[in-house]
Structure 1
Amino acid sequence: MLSEKSTATVRATLPAVGAALGDITDLFYRKLFAAHPELLRDLFNRGNQAAGLQKQALAGSVAAFATYLVEHPGTRPDVMLERIAHKHASLGVTRAQYPIVHRHLFAAVAEVLGDAVTPEVAEAWDEVYWLMANALITIEERLYAAQQVAAGDVWRTWQVLDRTEETADCATFRLVPADGAPAPAFRPGQYVSVQVELADGARQIRQYSLSCAPGSPVRTITVKRVDGTAGGGPDGEVSHHLHERVRPGDTLRVSAPYGDLVLADTSAPLLLASAGIGCTPMLSMLDHLAGTGHRAPVTVIHGDRSPADHALRGEHRALTRKLADAEALFWYEEGASEEDRTGLVDLTAVPLAPGTRAYLCGPLPFMRAVREQLLARGVPAAHIHYEVFGPDLWLAGTS
């Protein structure tokens, strides 16, 4: 862990570094992409870069990691590191890329902070970086080994078996390995990366949750078309490509499955809460629970704009009904039927069995609101797990 000398230096400089992290990460990405344009073209999400989301996530993770090291000597934030490592593994990040990041990140630190970066300060923050980087490298290489792939070589060609239009802006793609070999195993709640070649030659990558049970020979993903014009950037360019160009018989490059929001083998009561397209990992969990004969209570929560916007609504309810002791509660801002509820998700009157484990997926404001309600109801923080689609801005304090 962080040395005693560096701990004192990081503690003293954390306020100044933290305050400048926004400028540092902005300059870092500009330097990185100027030197390595292929990383923006073929690895980083151009939409998130244009919207500034990735730099917020990076700043938040660095600040959180450094803060944890000085406040909890001798330990490290493994939950945060696991989440980042799973995302990196799904992108094919390798050990060799960390020195490149280090070079441009510390050049940005020196340029933004100037004379404040004394040799002692540089040495302390260098130690922070490599503690984080080496921990991620170790986890990522373990993840690659578990999937029996070479480090960074996570891609395989899959064929689109068929597609279903779920809503006006959501389509489900059913995929099988193009080579006819068995599909890799995955755990309920995990995702895959999908890489597509766009009109300008860029190979952009996005993550999509698997919504089927782990034992299924066919893999399903449901893709929501994201309107990028609202943010003035290329957000949604992969989802638009999939909606407009990909048809049955086409092939896609798909990664091995990763993700740390996984349904643990447990007999505990469960709460599966989602909003919008965040229902997809919950469907995989429900399918698995139904197939394995889960007997403990399961409460299924979902919030959406309307029933027509709720992708896989029928399957969401049908899978819940397959369980021995389960209830589905859906909230809609408009168009709710008699069996549904109107407005935002409100857990005030929802029964929660003692020992409930909660899994959340959806927009950050939704997950924060549900988490606060669960904490107020006495559910321990350690029993509340979440998945963020895109950069994890929870640590950055962004909604």
Structure 2
Amino acid sequence: MLSNQTIAIIKSTVPVLEVHGTAITKRFYNLMFTAYPELLNMFNHANQRQGKQQNALANAVYAAALHIDKLEAILPAVKQIAHKHRSLGVKPEQYPIVGQMLLQAIKDVLGDAATEEILQAWADAYGVIANVFIETEAEMYRQSEQQQGGFADFRAFRIEKKVGESDVITSFYLVPQDGGAIPAFEPGQYVSVKMSIPGEEYTHIRQYSLSDAPGKPYYRISVKREDALPGKPEGKVSTYLHETVQEGDVLWLSAPAGDFTLDRNDERPIVLISGGVGLTPLVSMLADLSETNRTNRRVTFIHAAQHGNVHALRSQVEELAQRSPQVSVYWCYDKPTADDRANRAFDKEGYIDLPWLQSVVPTKDASFYFCGPEPFMKLVYRLLKEWGVAAADIHFEFFGPMGSLEPAAEPKETAARS
């Protein structure tokens, strides 16, 4: 337990973290990777270069400081991060390293303002927060290993089938190399793929949603090839998977993880909204709902893509809808091709807007799940808020570090002066 004095000191640093949080986390990663370069194996290097990982950690540290007297308020975020840590193979012995580097980063960025009293308070607070993560992750490791077909860390899977789904998305059907059973998973969960790429100093780990229903003798991931764009490097892993990895090759997978899953106790209508490759966890949800006949819930599936050439898994979704009268499917293309127009391959041209959404979704009294590129997710989130959908009915998944879908706040005077 933290003393009242420690809690007061931590809370007094909240305004400082709001201003300097990202600078602290940038310094933290620089220190950690310099002292422990092997930890680069666990991180998406592109997210590091783009600052996403640093911003996500800054937000997490800020939230921990803000709620240090009632850590139960951040338990949902802890569990979400813990799922990722378990999937990546984070171990308890790595937490002291993180604590040491975080305190040094605070000291380096804040200078004389980081008094011994403040640093000690943060050391005490970090110890409490780290224990929450360690205990949560230990339970997740136990559950992962003890279930039927379960395993800890990473396991070898053979690529049984490689299928091009669109010009940019390819599916990989994966079966255990040892011929054993595979763990069950909840639709919406993901696996981590650990890969050594020739010429690369460090291994790479990427997390990909499982894109088919549970209960199959395989896992399926559907991967978008991430091409280089201005300000965005080429996806090393996705390119290697698309261009080099073939059927019969072996990938190392973690057991399924993640908390972006269906609420089985909710019998109201469900709306699944995806953009681009963000359809993968939602196709898994739709396939599970349709194939198992577990529910009579009305399901509306909406997918947005640029055009038909990059639209993956369309035939599977349409087949599921044909077999399931409770499922309605709508396609939204913002840059349809001439063939798309000739074949009437889409229901709406342009971006999703609120009048159109209200015309195809029968009620806002439903559970909404959405996933896709961050600008798309911000649009959907804004539309649902404008419609008055309850916050408890809005569920989403970021591909990568946790971001924010709320509009950016106006800069504070203190931030402007810093």
TM range (shorter): over 0.9
Equivalent in the alignment of 1:4: 4
Structure 2 CA distance for partners of 1:379 and 1:102, relative to 1, 3 Å: same
How do 1:196-275 and structure 2 match up within 5 A? Answer: 196-199=195-198, 200-228=200-228, 230-231=230-231, 233=233, 235-266=234-265, 267-275=267-275
1:389 equivalenced with 2:405 (yes/no): no
- Matched with 2:51 is 52
* Residue 17 (1) aligns with residue 26 (2): no
3-state secondary structure, aligned to 1:249: coil
- Matched with 1:137 is 134
| Structure 2 Cα separation of the partners of residues 389 and 313 of structure 1 | 21
For residues 166 and 265 of structure 1, what CA distance do their matches in structure 2 show? 30
Measure, in 2, the Cα distance between the counterparts of 1:225 and 1:212: 19
Confirm whether residue 363 of structure 1 aligns to residue 370 of structure 2.
no
Higher deviation after alignment, 279-288 or 9-18? 9-18
Q: 1:110, CA displacement in angstroms?
A: 0.6
SS in structure 1 of the partner of residue 91 of structure 2: coil
CA spacing shift, 1:354–1:344, aligned 2, 3 Å: closer
- Corresponding residue for residue 29 of structure 2: 29
Q: What is the CA–CA distance in structure 2 between the aligned matches of 1:135 and 1:74, rounded to whole Å?
A: 9
- Structure 1 match to 2:352: 345
Aligned to 1:103: 100
Asked if structure 2 preserves the Cα contact closer than 8 Å seen for 1:160 and 1:250, the reply is yes
Distance 1:298 1:229, change over 3 A: closer
Q: Which whole-Å CA distance do the structure 2 matches of 1:395 and 1:334 have between them?
A: 24
Q: CA shift at 1:8, angstroms?
A: 2.3
Please tell me the residue identity of whatever aligns with 1:364: E
Instruction: State the shift of 1:322 in Å.
Output: 2.7
Letter in 2 for 1:340: D
Deviates more, 1:169-178 or 1:374-383: 374-383
SS in 1 for 2:259: coil
Please name the residue that 2:388 is paired with: 378
Percentage identity across paired residues of the two chains? 40
Structure 1 residue 81 corresponds to structure 2 residue 74: no
Match in the other structure for 2:328? 327
Note the residue ranges of structure 1 that are not aligned, 5 or more in a row.
none
Change (3 A) 1:202 1:62: same
Most deviating of 97-106 and 369-378: 369-378
What does the per-residue CA deviation read over 1:220-264, in whole Å, with 9 as the maximum and x for residues that have no partner? 11110112453364x511111111111111111011000110112
SS of 1:268's partner is coil
| Partner secondary structure for residue 75 of structure 1 | helix
**1:137-165 superposed Cα distances (whole Å, 9 cap, x missing partner):** 11111111111169994200000011111
Q: Distance in 1 between matches of 2:385 and 2:406?
A: 21
Q: Work out whether 1:126 is the aligned partner of 2:119.
A: no
Q: Is residue 115 from structure 1 mapped to residue 112 from structure 2 by the alignment?
A: yes
Report how far residue 177 of structure 1 moved: 0.6
**Alpha-carbon distance in 1 for matches of 2:72, 2:45:** 34
Paired AA for residue 349 in structure 2:
T
Distance in 1 (alpha carbons) for counterparts of 2:9 and 2:25: 21
Residues of 2 paired with 1:382 and 1:331: CA distance?
A: 26
Aligned to 2:191: 192
**Partners of 1:51 and 1:378 in 2: CA distance:** 33
What per-residue deviation string (whole Å, max 9, x for no partner) do you get for residues 174-202 of structure 1? 11111100111111110000111012242
* Distance in 2, Cα, partners of 1:373 & 1:354: 11
Per-residue deviation at 1:50?
1.8
2:61 aligned partner: 62
Compared CA separation, residues 147 and 300, structure 1 to 2 (3 A): same
- How far apart are 1:2 and its partner, in Å? 5.5
Name whichever of 141-150 and 361-370 sits farther off.
141-150
Q: Report the equivalent of 1:298.
A: 299
Q: 1:215 to 1:58 in 2, by over 3 A?
A: same
Deviation string, structure 1 residues 103-145 (Cα, Å, up to 9, x no partner): 0111010111111112332233234323332222111111111
Aligned 8 A contact 1:56 1:396 in 2: no
Is 2:377–2:405's contact at 8 Å kept on the other side of the alignment?
no
Which sits farther off after the overlay, 137-146 or 93-102? 137-146
State the shift of 1:217 in Å: 0.7
Which deviates the most, 74-83 or 109-118? 74-83
Report the alpha carbon displacement of residue 397 of structure 1 after superposing the two structures with TM: 7.2
Alignment partner of 1:321: what SS?
helix
Q: AA paired with 2:260?
A: L
Native 8 Å contact 1:168 1:309 kept in 2? yes
1:90 maps to 2:87: yes
2:412 is matched with none
Secondary structure of the structure 1 residue equivalent to 2:361: coil
TM-score, normalised relative to structure 1: 0.93
Whether 1:280 and 2:290 are equivalent positions in the alignment is no
Cα deviation, residue 387, structure 1: 0.8
For the pair 1:148 / 2:145, whether they are aligned, the reply is yes
1:328-360, Cα deviation, whole Å (9 max, x unpaired): 122110215435201111224333436411111
Counterpart check, 1:158 vs 2:167:
no
SS at match of 1:167: coil
Gaps of 5+ in 2: 409-418
Secondary structure (helix, strand or coil) at the match of 2:102 reads: helix
Contact 1:93/1:152 (<8 A) preserved:
no
